Amino acid sequence: MMRLGLTHSPGARYPLGAPVAPPPPPPAEPQPFDGGEAGFWLDPSDFSSMTIARDGTGPAPAIGDVVGRMLDRSGNGLDAVAPSDAARPRLELVGGKPALAFDGVDDVLVINGATFGAAFSVVAGLDPIAHGTVIGNRDGINPDLSDMLSIGTKLATKYPLADGSYHRTAVLRIAGPQISIVKFGGGFCDATVEGGQQKVEALAATPAVRSTPAYLGAVDGVGSAAMQMNLFGLLLYTDQVIDAAEETLARDWVAEKMGVS
């Protein structure tokens, strides 16, 4: 019996055409700040985004180490830096999840370079232990009116308006870890603690425009109104009330970092 051998000649065509190319990879899942929004995004679960040293050199922290610098994940370059070695919060595991532990004494991270426009939004996952300011931007004109998000017996925001007055909204909160959302501007303040309360109130004027630093864990860089808390993640949009789609992205990211649905 004669066997026929098959050979391949360069340039020859196969009867069924060229091999089919593999399908393209699926599109990336949408992320917060994909639209180029102004603001900053801080992620304590990304160890590579943090250093023990305040100048950004040296090793990343391990659980139990202090954190001197945290890179802004939004791509806007608004990194969070401790103003002194003593002010560095500590990276801890809380309920099995990485979190920044602020001691409520002098721990604070400073975010320079942001301009806060006539609106802002904050989405934070935190475990408040004592009362204080989660994030603020105190200035010399309105030193007591600078809490974008604070925790006492209630969650509150107390912020200056362009007409020289201020607006305060306070909502009931829950004990233990919580997702807190504040949207301020566009004629209203909308404050929410998931599992607690939501309150929407009208604003008498637009928020005051500011270029002062933001302070995470206190209301200023020396630890005034310092907040004892564990922070799982925070996103702050410095010039807008975020829409429903962006809020969902930010909220779901925070929920994942906290291990909740």
Query: What DSSP line would sit under 23-37, residue for residue?
Result: PPPPPPPP-TTTT--
| CATH code of the domain in which 243 resides | 2.60.120.200
Q: Is residue 239 part of a domain?
A: yes
Q: What is the pLDDT of residue 153?
A: 87
Q: Is residue 216 part of a domain?
A: yes
Residue 257 backbone dihedrals phi, psi, to 5 degrees: -70, -25
Q: Is residue 235 part of a domain?
A: yes
Q: What is the pLDDT of residue 143?
A: 60
Task: Please provide the distance, in angstroms rounded to a whole number, between the alpha carbons at the two ends of the chain.
Answer: 70
Q: What is the pLDDT of residue 146?
A: 84
Q: What is the pLDDT of residue 221?
A: 76
Q: What global pTM score does this model have?
A: 0.88
Q: What is the pLDDT of residue 69?
A: 98
Q: Is residue 76 part of a domain?
A: yes
Residue with tokens 């989660």: 134
Q: What is the pLDDT of residue 53?
A: 98
Residue with tokens 């992320």: 31
Helix (H, G, I), strand (E, B) or coil at 173: coil
Q: Which domain holds residue 176?
A: 39-258
Q: Is 206 exposed, middle or buried (0-12, 13-18, 19+ CB in 10 A)?
A: middle
Q: What is the pLDDT of residue 5?
A: 47
Q: What is the pLDDT of residue 222?
A: 74
Q: Is residue 14 part of a domain?
A: no
Q: Is residue 116 part of a domain?
A: yes
Q: What is the pLDDT of residue 255?
A: 97
Number of domains present in the structure of the chain: 1
Q: Is residue 12 part of a domain?
A: no
Average pLDDT per consecutive 10 residues, the chain (261 residues; last block may be shorter): 48 58 83 97 98 97 98 97 97 97 95 94 96 86 77 91 92 92 97 94 94 90 85 98 98 96 80
Q: Is residue 15 part of a domain?
A: no
DSSP state of 210: B
